[in-house]
Amino acid sequence: MKRCLYCGKPLSDGQKKYCTEDCRMRAHAFQHFADRKIYSFLFLFIVGTLGIVVGSVLIAMHPGIGTGIIGLSIIVWGVNFFILPFGIPDSLHFFGILASIRITRILSLLLVVSGIVLSVVGFNG
């Protein structure tokens, strides 16, 4: 059974990709948003990744500071995924764009919370 690419509702006969005009427009708006923001997303993703690498190296010398920097980097990742919730393409097809955005946002909040805990523990330790 085919499902709406945006909201994930089952499609009736004659509907190709989206269940309503509204879903089609929202899907296109999200695609447009994603196309415009992909470089900011990649930039913050790389900043977070570099922070985690730097933090991991620092852990050997200064365990507290290293852990704190890893925590801050995870917060950067989480905020990045929350503002720019680009799910992996496979999940978009399986759940629909809307559900994929929600799942990505919930996971990103978990990232932010873990990041805050790590940085607080790290910098205080």
Task: List residues binding Zn ion (CB under 5 A).
Answer: 4, 6-7, 19, 23
Residue 100 CB partners (closer than 8 Å, separation 6+): 85, 87, 91, 92
Quick one: 6 or 77, whose CB is closer to Zn ion? 6
CB of 44 to Zn ion, least distance (A): 30
User: Nearest-CA neighbor of 45 among 85, 11, 9?
Assistant: 85
CB of 81 to Zn ion, least distance (A): 23
Quick one: 91 or 114, whose CB is closer to Zn ion? 91
Q: Is 91 exposed, middle or buried (0-12, 13-18, 19+ CB in 10 A)?
A: middle
Quick one: 6 or 86, whose CB is closer to Zn ion? 6
CB of 62 to Zn ion, least distance (A): 51
Determine the residue type at 88. Answer: I
